[in-house]
């Protein structure tokens, strides 16, 4: 594919167009999600970290809904939110999540912004995994889990190495499947969402983060449910 920066990102009309044509249920979930994220943020003491966490959570959640609706705005929102998530993960010592967020930038965000053809008629190029591709996917997951666990225990010392590594590996696998337009990515997003709820819940209760990301990943699970059940989205319908 030809590298060609998406200059539409500098046009207001492009953003308006990208926010149109979503399913009604995703619009409702978007409004609910923004309310929950803002509410959980202002219910606790506000500082710089909690404020930027709120911004990242809103952009990240909107990004997942954009992916569900096959909209290219996910590239912009994902890039900005991932950068902030990396900073938050550094302060929380969730090192595998740093790798995960970096993978989102290279596998999900930059292709949309630099390879316009990648996102052209994306809904028409959705496909499923066969047996051999499932085996390759499982192999990729196992190897990635092992490498992230070694990183969390040998290179950096994470307070939560196992949860961090497994959640990161599942997210990496899901992002790879998303880049290749496989619908089975949502199985991995769902499991990764559950583990991320656990990871950021434990992180918050151990005093290394606030509860905003805990509730945000619960919202991510709601988006995964829509991908499976909403007949107006393309991944399974």
Q: Residue ranges per domain, the chain?
A: 14-229
Query: How much is the pLDDT for 237?
Result: 56
CA atoms 12, 13, 16, 22: torsion sign: negative
Query: How much is the pLDDT for 31?
Result: 96
Residue 187 three-state SS = helix
- Per-10-residue mean pLDDT for the chain, 237 residues long? 70 92 93 94 87 93 89 89 92 88 87 70 76 96 96 88 90 88 88 86 78 86 82 69
Q: Give the number of other Cβ atoms within 10 Å of residue 233's Cβ.
A: 23
Contacts of 64 (CB under 8 A, 6+ apart): 74, 189, 220, 223
Ramachandran area for residue 121 (φ above 0: left; ψ -120 to 50: alpha; else beta): left
Q: What gap in Å lies between CA 35 and CA 40, rounded to an integer?
A: 9
Q: What gap in Å lies between CA 149 and CA 160, rounded to an integer?
A: 10
Query: How much is the pLDDT for 165?
Result: 92
Q: What gap in Å lies between CA 81 and CA 88, rounded to an integer?
A: 10
Query: How much is the pLDDT for 117?
Result: 63
Query: How much is the pLDDT for 226?
Result: 82
Residue 82 three-state SS = helix
Residues forming a β-bridge with 127: 182
The secondary structure of residue 47, as a DSSP letter, is -
Query: How much is the pLDDT for 119?
Result: 60
Contact 221, 204 (CB under 8 A): no
Q: What gap in Å lies between CA 231 and CA 112, rounded to an integer?
A: 25
Q: What gap in Å lies between CA 112 and CA 143, rounded to an integer?
A: 27
Query: How much is the pLDDT for 30?
Result: 95
């Amino acid at each position: 594919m030809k590298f060609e920066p998406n200059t539409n990102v500098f046009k207001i009309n492009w953003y308006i167009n990208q926010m149109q044509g979503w399913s009604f249920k995703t619009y409702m979930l978007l409004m609910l999600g923004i309310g929950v994220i803002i509410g959980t943020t202002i219910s606790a003491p506000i500082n710089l970290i909690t404020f930027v966490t709120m911004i990242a959570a809103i952009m990240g959640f909107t990004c997942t809904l954009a992916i569900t609706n096959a909209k290219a705005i996910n590239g912009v929102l994902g890039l900005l939110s991932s950068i902030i998530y990396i900073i938050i993960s550094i302060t929380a010592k969730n090192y595998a999540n740093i790798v995960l967020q970096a993978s989102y930038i290279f596998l999900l965000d930059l292709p949309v912004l630099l390879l316009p053809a990648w996102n052209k008629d994306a809904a028409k190029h959705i496909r499923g995994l066969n047996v051999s591709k499932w085996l390759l996917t499982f192999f990729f997951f196992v190897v990635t889990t092992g490498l992230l666990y070694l990183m969390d225990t040998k290179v950096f010392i994470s307070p939560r190495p196992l949860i961090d590594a497994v959640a990161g590996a599942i997210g990496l696998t899901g992002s790879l499947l998303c880049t290749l337009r496989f619908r089975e990515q949502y199985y991995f997003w769902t499991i990764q969402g559950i583990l991320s709820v656990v990871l950021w819940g434990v992180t918050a209760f151990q005093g290394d983060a606030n509860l905003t990301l805990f509730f945000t990943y619960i919202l991510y699970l709601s988006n995964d449910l829509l991908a499976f059940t909403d007949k107006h989205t393309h991944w399974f319908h």
